[in-house]
Amino acid sequence: MTLECATCPVRDSAACAVLSEEDREKLARAGRTRELSRGEVLFAAGEADTVCATLLTGALKVTSHDADGHERILALIHPSGFIGEMFSPFTSHDVVALTKSRLCIFAKADMEAALERHPELLRALLRRSQEDLHRSRMLLSLGSGRSAQDQVGGLLLALAQAASTSPCHPARTFELPITRGEMASMLGLTIETVSRAITTLEREGTIRRNGTRGIELVDPARLEDLV
């Protein structure tokens, strides 16, 4: 299926937004879209990977697996995010769909050619890469000396910020994009510990739950000074 940039949901925020209308069209002709359903694998670690992609809708996770198959989530990817290490011929981590997702896929060779012609695209990717790096370090610092409950609180806050439309203020109410198990795997905790932490946070009056996925931040300040 060929691309329809005109109706693209991330046409203003994705990396290719820095291109002119016509340049973008030219790039689009080299690409195609792909749908993934929950659990489908986009990249598997260690495979040669010859494509890169922009996420249009849905959400992806970047994971690694330790010796005994335990999964660790290293990053979440939201719409307009870019996937693919342009300088490494092999993927180092798995990339898997968390929900039904739609992507815009390019051969690395085509993207490489576009980068050659459009330095502004290079700049857009650099910016994204530095943001990814920043988020990755956030996740690292979450795991620090803090108690399990503080870690979960910090993650909730981070997810609220990701769910928010405005970049600085967290959303007051939002739906968790991930399961308890996936939260646990982002923090290196167990499902049970995450569940208990959420229960405690609710009993303390810091948050309120709305079904299993809905979260309302009653007292965001309390979460904020954990960071």
Binding residues for a second copy, per CB under 8 A? 62, 64, 66-68, 70, 72, 74-75, 85-88, 92-93, 115, 119, 122-123, 125-127, 129-130, 132-134, 136-137, 139-141, 143-146, 188, 225-227
Long-range Cβ contact pairs of 181-184 (< 8 A, separation 24 or more)? 182/61, 182/73, 182/98, 183/152, 183/155
CB of 86 to a second copy, least distance (A): 7
66, 211, 221, 225: which one binds DNA (CB under 7 A):
211
Is residue 193 part of the contact set for DNA (CB under 7 A)? yes
Question: DSSP string covering 90-143, please?
Answer: B--SEEEESSSEEEEEEEHHHHHHHHHH-HHHHHHHHHHHHHHHHHHHHHHHHT
Is residue 163 part of the contact set for DNA (CB under 7 A)? no
Q: What is the number of other CB atoms lying within 10 angstroms of the CB of residue 203?
A: 9
Is residue 130 part of the contact set for DNA (CB under 7 A)? no
Residues of this chain that interact with DNA (CB under 7 A) are 145, 147-149, 179-181, 188-196, 198-199, 209, 211-213
